[in-house]
Chain A
Amino acid sequence: AQKITQTQPGMFVQEKEAVTLDCTYDTSDPSYGLFWYKQPSSGEMIFLIYQGSYDQQNATEGRYSLNFQKARKSANLVISASQLGDSAMYFCAMREANQAGTALIFGKGTTLSVSS
């Protein structure tokens, strides 16, 4: 079974609109971390936002927020006021045990296209 599921292969949005990228996860570990990374066409992996399983509030970083619904095991990324530069592949990742010495498990990614 997949540990991280991103069901949207591609998403299209117009500039200045908000967009939600879906991510569901599967773990029996009570302690875990959830991450979102952006991969533009240039190929680098850019960290966007982090949510710990015990965090009471949803994480926010500028235009990025994470809609964390623990009971549903979902960690959707919300990008407000989309910009052309947001066009990229977005990966959801999980770290079980939420320790530094644990590898990230990645979803397959969602391609976001922002048009003017």
Chain B
Amino acid sequence: DAGVIQSPRHEVTEMGQEVTLRCKPISGHDYLFWYRQTMMRGLELLIYFNNNVPIDDSGMPEDRFSAKMPNASFSTLKIQPSEPRDSAVYFCASTRSTSTDTQYFGPGTRLTVL
């Protein structure tokens, strides 16, 4: 089975531009998580979905960030407008509804905002 797929793997953009990160979870997984990794703050949750419905978005930094999951196999994280402090690695992870299952991470998107 394919793992979690993220695109793009690397994104370099200029401040003020819109950035869209994409994620395809593992088939059959009904939970999808977006995490952000920075040197200063480490790995932190941004938002997660269950059966395509956002459950907890308390980690989303501000209104410039939005996330959607239009169907079970696709999610997007959008930043508009982007700022240099958004530079980070953004991970998508998915899991099933069983307590012993771990979260499987995608390869991450390394975002650089100039």
Contact = CB atoms under 8 A, between A and B. Distances in A.
Interface of A: 33, 35, 37, 43-47, 50, 52, 91, 93, 98-101, 103-104, 106-109
Contact of B99 (A35, A93, A99): A99
Contacts of B108: 43-45
A108 to B, nearest CB: 5
B98 interface: yes
B105 A91 contact: no
Contacts of A108: 42
Contact of B102 (A50, A101, A103, A107): A50
B114 interface: no
Interface stretch (B11-19, B48-56, B69-77): B48-56
A52 B89 CA distance: 28
Contacts of A45: 91, 93, 105, 108
Contact of A47 (B59, B96, B98, B102): B102
A52 B42 contact: no
Interface residues of B, number: 31
B101 interface: yes
28 contacts: A33-B99, A37-B105, A43-B89, A44-B106, A44-B107, A45-B91, A45-B93, A45-B105, A46-B105, A47-B103, A47-B104, A47-B105, A50-B102, A52-B99, A52-B100, A99-B99, A100-B97, A100-B98, A101-B48, A101-B55, A101-B97, A103-B45, A103-B48, A103-B59, A104-B35, A104-B43, A104-B93, A106-B42
Residue in B42, B55, B56, B98 whose Cβ sees the most chain A Cβ within 10 Å: B42
